Amino acid sequence: MNIVFFGSDDFSLASLNACLESSHQVVLAVTTPPQKQGRGLTLVPTPVQQFAASRRIPFAAPEDLKNDALPDQLRSLDPGLFVVASYGKFIPGRYLSIPSFAALNVHPSLLPLYRGSSPIQAPLLNGDRETGLSIIELARRLDAGDIFLQVRIPLDGTETQPILRQKLADLSHRELLGLLNSLPDRPLQRTPQDEARSTYAPKLSKEDGHLSLFLHSAEEIERRVRALQPWPGTFIHLFGERVAVLEARSEHLEGESAAVLPGAISRIESNGAFSVGTREGILKVFQLQPAGKKAMRADAYLNGRRLKAGAILRETPA
């Protein structure tokens, strides 16, 4: 069957490769338009467009999908399948009848949990013990289609977003390839989503990375640091400057946590880390990056400000 693929970012590439390696043919890759990046605001194509161009795969990068000519173009390609993976735009309902066999949506969460734009970060932020991959029917409502395939993977509480993202990308490649190669001989098995269990993972903003030792617990801060790297990143305003928190983890020390005030440095270790009190619990900080400077060991930041154990990290307004 002919496949029209919809995708944009680097996560999409694993699914696009699965389509290319399958017994079907990719006849078009639909992606989002180039975006301005860097200080020079240079227009940069999406990873999917760059990959398609390098492999001589026909591609389209429409500004939106309200273009009346695009559905006719897609119909002319006689697609049996749509495959959507991290496309970044909502696909209107009038597109759903174009593929003759099915429209598949590859989503990196255990739907109906975490519909929306940040399904990889959400289980890390919430401290979930598992996540996974869902391949569903593309539907008129966001990520609400029937489930064709779902795979679970455990979380051990140490994963960072880049590591989990790669693990889920590899999983999407394997599972999508297997599913595609079973079609059309094996019928798709449908399981409706349980709407009562549905949750939403909204698009992240820069301010989602704003940390406070007085407002957040050590566990909350650790989860944010792991979930929000490399973007939007996590930061704290100390002594009038923005300081990125690149690596930190919560500590579980009997009796000590309650005795350390938020912002108070309790220990400085020989490995370069220091421990500091939070709203609840103690946070061990390993790596920081003050605005305009290179990343540094946490103790180097303290040395630069001549701070020792017992001193207070003074938070300031943005």
Q: Return the CATH fold of 206-304.
A: Methionyl-tRNA Fmet Formyltransferase; Chain A, domain 2 (3.10.25)
Task: Output the six-digit token pair for 22.
Answer: 């399958």
What's the CA angle centered on 124, arms 164 and 144, to 5 degrees? Answer: 85
| Superfamily of 2-201 according to CATH | Formyl transferase, N-terminal domain (3.40.50.170)
pTM: 0.94
Per-residue pLDDT tens for 133-165? 999 999 999 999 999 999 999 999 999 999 999
Percent of the chain with pLDDT over 70: 98
CA 36 – CA 18 distance, rounded (Å): 29
What is the pLDDT, as a whole number, of residue 256?
59
User: Which one, of 106, 65, 112, lies nearest residue 89 by Cα?
Assistant: 65
Cβ contact 155:126 at 8 Å: no
Do the Cβ atoms of 117 and 87 come closer than 8 Å? no
Are 62 and 89 in contact by the 8 Å Cβ rule? The answer is no
Domain with CATH 3.10.25.10 in the chain: 206-304
Instruction: Report pLDDT digits (tens) over 239-264.
Output: 999 999 999 999 976 655 567 899 99
- What local confidence, expressed as pLDDT, does residue 42 receive? 87
**H runs (alpha helix) in 98-189:** 121-125, 161-182
CA distance 89 to 8: 9
CB 137 within 8 A of CB 103: yes
Provide the 3-class DSSP secondary structure of residue 211.
Answer: coil
Predicted local distance difference test score (pLDDT) of residue 317? 84
pLDDT of residue 237: 97
- What is the rounded distance in angstroms from the CA atom of residue 68 to the CA atom of residue 106? 26
Find out whether the peptide bond into 112 is cis, omega within 30 degrees of 0.
Answer: yes
Mean pLDDT, the chain, whole residue set: 95
As a whole-number percent, the residues of the chain with pLDDT over 90 amount to 91
Q: Which tens digits make up the pLDDT trace of 304-314? A: 999 999 999 99
Per residue in 180-224, pLDDT (tens digit) is 999 999 999 999 999 999 999 999 999 999 999 999 999 999 999
Band (270; pLDDT cuts 50, 70, 90): very high
Residues 11-45 have pLDDT tens digits of 999 999 999 999 999 999 999 999 888 777 889 99
Q: What is the reported pLDDT for 36?
A: 81
> Which residue ranges does the chain devote to CATH 3.40.50.170?
2-201
Burial 164-198 (b: 16+ CB within 10 A, else e): bbebbbebbbebbbebbeebeeeebeeeebeeeee
